Amino acid sequence: MKPKIACVGQTTLDFIKVIGQYPNEGDVIPVAQSCEVLGGPIGRGAVTAARLGADVHLLSTCGDDGYAKTMQQAIQEEGISAKWAVRKSTPSQHSIVVLHKDNRTILWTPQPKADTETLALLPDVLQGSQCVLMDCTDEQLTTRVAELASQENIPTVLDTSSYKPWVEKLFAKISYIISPRKFFEQRSPELPLEAALEQAYNEFAPKLWSYTDGAKGGKYIADETADEIRSFEAVSVTAVDTCGAGDTFHGAFAVAIANRLALGEAFRFSAWAAAMKCQELGNTSIPDQSAAAKILAPSSEPYS
């Protein structure tokens, strides 16, 4: 059976534009490459989990314009079961992502905020899930997901993104917290990175807290490794598009947790998935289940 993974948070429609030179004021710059893809920390995470073989159930808010319709159709084509909290007469979220060499500029129209109707959809989305993937883009929605999942003893994977003070109240309810390096640089600028990680872990006692650091890999501390800080490596590839690599990492990590992989294997699996995504523009090279089965170690729990 496929594990059920609930994905709750921000889904966007990304219009990616690759340019050969960065514009100055008044310039007209031709676009070298372009594509239209699902994005957002939860949208791309859900795509990753679905391609890796999970039964994905998504909850996001959206408007009712053409962007929303395109986004909904793209989610359906990925085989994802989605519930949309639609806001009438509201522009839907979308981003223009401008890529130039190692630089990335994002112009973003944000998603509508959750309301009571959105929250009422949560129990059905969470029911029977082996894991919940969530982000920190909407305080009311994130708070309610954390509360319900904790009450039902459903493992949660939280993508913190950058530091937001309000999310502190939720950390004790989260199972697996994954933060980018910048999160700790913002939360504890006076501490070395590993010390900031250890301090946060000891303060809130989740099952695991990790930081990711791009091509440098990352580190984690967890109860099952005797509270010892351990490292994981990134997978080296020729990167074409790193936009959404973190989203892909989180989606793959949720799949690994739902399939009960050991933590070392879960990080190796997630780093591999994120690296594969970077090899082509957009979401084209996010791997599928058949590719994943080939890279998992024989000693791992069976992946099914």
pLDDT digits (tens, 9 = 90+) for 87-109: 999 999 999 999 988 788 999 99
d(CA 253, CA 229): 18
- Residues 38, 16 contacting (CB under 8 angstroms): no
Per-residue pLDDT band at 300 (split at 50, 70, 90): very low
CATH superfamily of 4-23+30-295: Ribokinase (3.40.1190.20)
pLDDT digits (tens, 9 = 90+) for 235-248: 999 999 999 999 99
Per-residue pLDDT band at 213 (split at 50, 70, 90): very high
d(CA 220, CA 252): 16
- Residues 238, 280 contacting (CB under 8 angstroms): no
List the domain boundaries for the chain.
Answer: 4-23+30-295
Model-wide pTM > 0.85: yes
> Minimum mean pLDDT among 104-108, 173-177, 179-183, 209-213: which range?
104-108
d(CA 251, CA 274): 9
What length does the chain have?
304
What was the pLDDT predicted at 294?
Answer: 82
